[in-house]
Structure 1
């Protein structure tokens, strides 16, 4: 998933940072709710002693981990899902429960597990919240006006962002443009309708179905750059929007980004999170246990170490051989969980769908996609 810039526009903020980022705790599944035929919502109970660690900013995500069955020979499976429940008040206790939406992916090992096997009362390993696709309502300017363009399960973080903002800032407005295949496949219909009922004058909802005609509203079809460039100025004063949140498949996000650029929106006002990227990258070279290619020094939770990087190996995999607690989730350059600051040396990233240009210019890299170019490389996960 892609993230917002480290120095974003008014109303966005750096996330609440736990003392040990990347740490897992075991939480109990309080409920499993069927949203559509191919999506469910998992509610996770947070015990009082862990609520401070699971305090989150609206828009952050959780990484869920499924350990392999003993003797299966398989590695653990990690998947990242955005928190859709509102963020807790800044001056109150942490959340007593967290809710995430899980869309079934064809061949998806964790999503199939969530749909077919997880039940209330089960225990799940859950990483503390992470992510920079966030909005801080307290930092929003007076009479702030935000907008989001989402596709499919991209509604999940934006639902938390909109609900938290509208509840805590009576002067704020939010416009949601959402695209789904059909009404039957639309996640969180009731939750979004509830926002419209509670805030009729401050919450604007526009729904576009790509494969189904609606009785009222916009005609069906894909939300691409050209259509958004014509649609958005008719919906709201584009130049006056405080911040834009784009979330969903790669094609929708890039199309929306290009439409906003064509409408004169400053790039610093646009925040992105990508939920799915077609895997067009060449296969990574297999690491050789004999050959080495440089050394990496990594700082994590206040402790540093130096280890060899094998030929073809990423910095993350080199660190994981000695530090199993190194933070990661997708290992595909999408979620940004393994973001680290490049202290010294030079690296090459295979792909990057998680860091903004401002972040890479500031020296941040994705450890899962980075390979050493210089003999010595130092990274810092704690920045």
Structure 2
């Protein structure tokens, strides 16, 4: 399977959603319609030169399935966020490099489902796509969405959400949770945390145990608290799906060590400097040298002029996922690979540092 590459797309529209968030719509040429086909919940990686630096950031698609010729993402400005601030200045007619859809926080359309969606802030973007696509593509399915924000002015996609409420009056339930604004329904005031979920469940406003799947998207503390509370409410782990945008300072990454092949056992002592790393990409092989005391595979590849796939560079998005076919490596952080992927030899190039003198990474592996 070919590694996804960037395509230059024209911006068809830019719409203000809140004082610090915009929805950016890209025009998809007919010849790229299959390339940019997506599953609700996936993201696009944008690439641009910002302040003289090549930068990439991932933003979830908020478009529903069936919106031919267009893909929309929501971008919220974050404190000291150079790319998110740059995105607020984009306008129709501008062109920007975009990678085809990726991601595993997805909902396949077909059948009948009862979904519970928990979103906070800009975490609404993939949830909007999932909700709209499920409701339009599955005539008997239901969706319950709890959307947490500070106050009314920070609610993204308010009009789109209200439109879904009006169109699917018996199948879509939307509740706003505010922690800096008093609402008429007292139970909806405060944070969307474990106590809130337990209270809502006790009052029969949500029924997590009955949901076919629960999608959670937002800050890591909210995801952790929600996952713990939902497990206590009887939700099996395999029904919980989450998308992490930014890890918390005290986050707990998933397993990080990995290795495969005859050199799987790390060499004695510290990580070896000057490891030989062979990259398999689009069927071709390239050799780079990685000093594990100074670089990850990604930073070393960039330093040596090799463009390997990457997006967040923080161990969260899996764009740089590859498989170790020889040698061994450890990851600085891992927020996205599942235990079965670790066991199968997959690693994240943006976090990997060789622990053997030779390391072979296959980016074409699926």
Q: Is the pair's TM-score, using the shorter chain for normalization, greater than 0.5?
A: yes
Q: For the residues of structure 1 that align with 2:354 and 2:143, how far apart are their CA atoms?
A: 44
Q: Which deviates further from its counterpart, 319-328 or 329-338? A: 319-328
Q: What does residue 285 of structure 1 align with? A: none
Q: What does residue 285 of structure 2 align with? A: 304
Given that residues 207 and 218 in structure 1 are in contact (C-alpha distance below 8 angstroms), is that contact kept between their aligned partners in structure 2? no
1:203 aligned onto 2:136 = no
1:78 aligned onto 2:60 = no
1:165 aligned onto 2:134 = yes
* From 6, 22, 27, the counterpart of 2:4: 22
Q: For the residues of structure 1 that align with 2:119 and 2:215, how far apart are their CA atoms?
A: 8
Superposed counterparts of 1:122-141, under 5 Å: 122-138=94-110, 140=111
Change (3 A) 1:361 1:95: farther
1:258 aligned onto 2:231 = no
TM-score for the superposition, normalised by structure 1: 0.84
Q: For the residues of structure 1 that align with 2:305 and 2:231, how far apart are their CA atoms?
A: 42
Given that residues 341 and 363 in structure 1 are in contact (C-alpha distance below 8 angstroms), is that contact kept between their aligned partners in structure 2? yes
Q: For the residues of structure 1 that align with 2:344 and 2:173, how far apart are their CA atoms?
A: 36
Given that residues 301 and 307 in structure 2 are in contact (C-alpha distance below 8 angstroms), is that contact kept between their aligned partners in structure 1? no
Q: What does residue 263 of structure 2 align with? A: none
Q: For the residues of structure 2 that align with 1:219 and 1:49, how far apart are their CA atoms?
A: 46
Deviation at 1:261, TM superposition (A): 1.5
Q: What does residue 337 of structure 1 align with? A: 319
Give the structure, 1 or 2, with the largest relative contact order (CA under 8 Å, sep 6 or more): 1
Q: What does residue 269 of structure 2 align with? A: none
Deviation at 1:349, TM superposition (A): 1.0
Superposed counterparts of 1:41-52, under 5 Å: 41-52=23-34
Q: Deviations over 1:127-155 (max 9, x none)?
A: 111111111112x4xx3111111110000
1:272 aligned onto 2:245 = no
* From 84, 87, 90, the counterpart of 1:111: 84
Superposed counterparts of 1:1-383, under 5 Å: 20-68=2-50, 74-88=52-66, 95-115=68-88, 117-138=89-110, 140=111, 143-216=112-185, 218-232=187-201, 234-279=204-249, 292-310=273-291, 311-321=293-303, 324-382=306-364, 383=366
Q: What SS is found at the alignment partner of 1:218?
A: helix
The total of aligned residue pairs comes to 343
Q: Deviations over 1:43-84 (max 9, x none)?
A: 111111111111111111011111256xxxx32111110000
Q: What SS is found at the alignment partner of 2:361?
A: strand
Given that residues 22 and 328 in structure 1 are in contact (C-alpha distance below 8 angstroms), is that contact kept between their aligned partners in structure 2? no
Q: What SS is found at the alignment partner of 2:62?
A: coil
Q: Deviations over 1:347-382 (max 9, x none)?
A: 111111222334333332211011111222222222
Q: What SS is found at the alignment partner of 2:86?
A: helix
Change (3 A) 1:135 1:323: farther
Q: What does residue 288 of structure 1 align with? A: none
Q: What SS is found at the alignment partner of 2:65?
A: coil
The CA RMSD measured in Å over matched residues stands at 2.0
Q: Deviations over 1:296-341 (max 9, x none)?
A: 2222222223322124211222333456431111211122211122
Change (3 A) 1:45 1:168: same
Which runs of 5 or more structure 2 residues have no equivalent in the other structure? Answer: 252-271
Q: For the residues of structure 1 that align with 2:343 and 2:115, how far apart are their CA atoms?
A: 27
Q: For the residues of structure 2 that align with 1:171 and 1:40, how far apart are their CA atoms?
A: 32
Q: After the TM superposition, which parts of structure 1 deviate over 6 Å for at least 4 consecutive aligned residues?
A: none
Q: For the residues of structure 2 that align with 1:51 and 1:119, how far apart are their CA atoms?
A: 22
Q: For the residues of structure 2 that align with 1:167 and 1:267, how far apart are their CA atoms?
A: 27
Given that residues 180 and 210 in structure 1 are in contact (C-alpha distance below 8 angstroms), is that contact kept between their aligned partners in structure 2? yes
